[in-house]
Structure 1
Amino acid sequence: MTDWIDIAPLSDVPQRGARVVKTALGCVAVFRTAKDEVFALDNACPHKAGPLAEGIVHGNSVTCPLHNWVISLETGEAQGVDEGRVATYPAQVESGRILLDRSFLRGRTAA
């Protein structure tokens, strides 16, 4: 059974944007696509730890603002010629609220 934690209203994250969410169980970057899909990933790009939440969201990907690495919001994998990966966390929207899976957050450390 999934143990969801309510972190914010969907409206707190702009379409094609992101926010870093700090919870008692850790911090993650939460992304919202143009289709209102929500994804949660580590905020550090696998290349040089660029802040992914400050990147450009396009489709189901985000482009790191430092060196233009493209990261899949679905898998956390770098796309293109470079290799690398960031952790992803289960996320969903229910009744206009963003929910994250508490069990996956337990492995994180607070900022």
Structure 2
Amino acid sequence: MSDWIDIASLDDIPQRGARVVKTTQGCVAVFRTADDKVYALDNSCPHKGGPLAEGIVHGASVTCPLHNWVFSLETGLAAGADEGQVATYRARVLNGRIELEAAFLAARSAA
């Protein structure tokens, strides 16, 4: 059984928007889709370090604001790029609150 850490109300993130959660090992972008699903990815694009949380959310993807690389919110894979992927982390909505899996935060802190 996983432990979860409450990070925000679902209403704190607009639909098709994002919020940055700071950890000791870097920033995580938490995204909310138009149908209220939440996803958590590394905030930094592997191409040029663009802040993915400032990108455009469309469907289950986000477009990097710097050079338009498109990443799957589900897998972290870049679409149409020769290579590129960002780490994904488990996130969920429970009783209107967004939670991240605690094991992910512990793993990031220990890295």
Aligned to 1:3: 3
Aligned to 1:100: 100
Identity of aligned residues (%): 74
Q: What aligned pairs does 1:12-51 form with structure 2 within 5 A after superposition?
A: 12-23=12-23, 27-51=27-51
The offset of 1:103, in angstroms, is 0.2
Question: After the TM superposition, which parts of structure 1 deviate over 4 Å for at least 4 consecutive aligned residues?
Answer: 23-26
Residues 25-83 of structure 1 deviation map (CA, whole Å, 9 limit, x = unaligned): 86310000000000000000111110000000000000000000000000001011331
The offset of 1:106, in angstroms, is 1.5
TM-score for the superposition, normalised by structure 1: 0.92
Q: Mark the runs of 5 or more structure 2 residues left unpaired by the alignment.
A: none
Higher helix share: 2
* Other structure's SS at 2:31 match: strand
Q: What aligned pairs does 1:25-104 form with structure 2 within 5 A after superposition?
A: 27-104=27-104
Preserved CA contact (<8 Å) 2:69 2:81: no
Aligned length: 109
Preserved CA contact (<8 Å) 1:26 1:105: no
TM-score for the superposition, normalised by structure 2: 0.92
The offset of 1:24, in angstroms, is 6.6
Q: Mark the runs of 5 or more structure 1 residues left unpaired by the alignment.
A: none
Q: Residue type of the partner of 1:67?
A: H
Deviates more, 1:74-83 or 1:87-96: 74-83
The offset of 1:107, in angstroms, is 2.6
